[in-house]
Amino acid sequence: MKIKKNTKIIFLSISIIIIFCGVFSASVSSINKMQDSSYSWYCKPSGGNEQPAFDLDLDELKEYDAYAIGGKEDKVIYLTFDFGYENGNVKRCLDALNKNRVKGAFFILDHIVTNNTDLLREIVETGHIVANHTLKHKNMCQIKNFDDYKNEIVGLSEKFEEMTGYKMAKYYRPPKGEFTKQNLEYNKKLGYKTIFWSLAYKDWDNDSQPNPQESIQRILKRTHNGAVVLLHPTSKTNADILDTLIKEWLKRGYRFGTLDELTGNN
């Protein structure tokens, strides 16, 4: 009887493991099997400085020249900023980067080129990447025609070059992280590498800014090897804490990489 009881326990344990693995594997979606419907980028923070969980196949993502995270074994951080407007905090974030000799990537819109041309020149001239976030921050999933899609992206890069005298790096981040399989195909056809993220937090609402000290602890807890960090440089909290964060990351043994390194453009 004891043997039968142990056998039942073992069988039950194995069944639970099989079911769990099945659920986990089912949660990882295949991009190649996606219908042409919109997908909102998502990753689940793990805490404990472990890499987050994704519900898309990251190896498939690379087939479309799209990236969200670096290697598990490398204590590297890639800093990226979605730059929607300037309210004084973007310049403060840039100064914190330059003070610590850390490079970042700024994803911009067309009115930034018009209204903040000198700041963009400073970003480029101090060694940072300026990249593409579309002309008007439209939902790109709704644009089916290739020429219309191309205009939203190439139109921005052409305006940037015309007004600053510099070429825009061919990195693209979809507005709100929304995309379709067709979008990824269009980006690759245009020669752009799509950049998602593996670490972000609610920093974008300037009318409800998070507590600086709590934000530092939240970000440090979620920091992981190969982290592609998304920050909004318009955030007062981010402007207040970025210098401290960078110093703490360095103290903990992290280094800072560029998108060229992440995507193999070096």
What would the pLDDT profile of 21-64 be if each residue is shown by its tens digit?
333 333 567 888 777 789 999 999 987 899 999 999 999 999 99
3-state secondary structure of 138: coil
Partners of residue 159 on adjacent β-strands: none
pLDDT more than 90, % of the chain: 84
Q: pLDDT (tens digit, 9 = 90+) per residue, 179-224?
A: 999 999 999 999 999 999 999 999 999 999 999 999 999 999 999 9
The yes-or-no answer on residue 232 being catalytic is yes
Tell me the whole-structure pTM to 2 decimals: 0.89
Q: pLDDT (tens digit, 9 = 90+) per residue, 63-90?
A: 999 999 999 999 999 999 999 999 999 9
Distance CA 115, CA 93 (A): 18
- H/E stretch holding 241: helix 236-251
In angstroms, what is the C-alpha Rg of the chain?
21
Instruction: Give the residue among 112, 113, 175 at the shortest CA–CA distance from 149.
Output: 175
Annotated catalytic residue, options 65, 82, 203, 240: 82
- Give the CATH architecture of domain 48-263: Alpha-Beta Barrel (3.20)
Distance CA 181, CA 198 (A): 20
Annotated catalytic residue, options 128, 133, 224, 232: 232
pLDDT surpassing 60 at residue 234: yes
The yes-or-no answer on residue 82 being catalytic is yes
Distance CA 233, CA 212 (A): 14
The pLDDT value given to residue 54: 95
The pLDDT value given to residue 102: 98
In the predicted model, what is the mean pLDDT of residues 163-172? 98
Distance CA 204, CA 237 (A): 10
Question: How are the residues of the chain apportioned to helix, strand and coil, as percentages rounded to the nearest 5?
Answer: 50, 15, 35
The pLDDT value given to residue 71: 95
Q: Which residue has the tokens 């793990």?
A: 46
pLDDT surpassing 60 at residue 11: no
H-state helical runs in 71-180: 89-99, 110-115, 117-125, 146-164
